[in-house]
Structure 1
Amino acid sequence: MGIGDMRNDPQIGQSWQHHSGRMYQVILVTNTTHPSDKFPVTVVYQNMTNATVWSRPLSDWHRSFTEMPS
């Protein structure tokens, strides 16, 4: 199964809210071709207020983020 098959996984351009209340936009999803423990599927996202860029493994994404309606 690929990204997005089982749950509402983040897609490029989507807005998500962190549990802290801050808003982020997904700018990239990496390591999707051959993910491994060493190189897991990773979400790269940007703070919509101050443009800070962050990354987080997809496996940890839904613990802290809620998708915002488009």
Structure 2
Amino acid sequence: AAYDRYAAEVIAEAKRVNDRFGTSGWEPIVVTPHDDTPRSMAALARADVVVVNPIRDGLNLVAKEAAIVNRR
């Protein structure tokens, strides 16, 4: 229940930022709460910034994966 509330708050805040700063063809924040490994790896490879929040997963390897797949 606490995680679901937190996730809803994160999604609402991302929407607020996107509404303010986004355009008709671009969103500054993309939230994808479901698992889709190929899409996730592609996003990490293209990302300018990756924010890793360990609320749900205490041993989160996403930060390391991002550094490996994003060579910019």
* TM-score using structure 2 length: 0.21
Larger radius of gyration: 2
Greater fraction strand = 1
Greater fraction helix = 2
* TM-score using structure 1 length: 0.22
Q: Which has the higher contact order (CA 8 A, sep 6+)?
A: 1
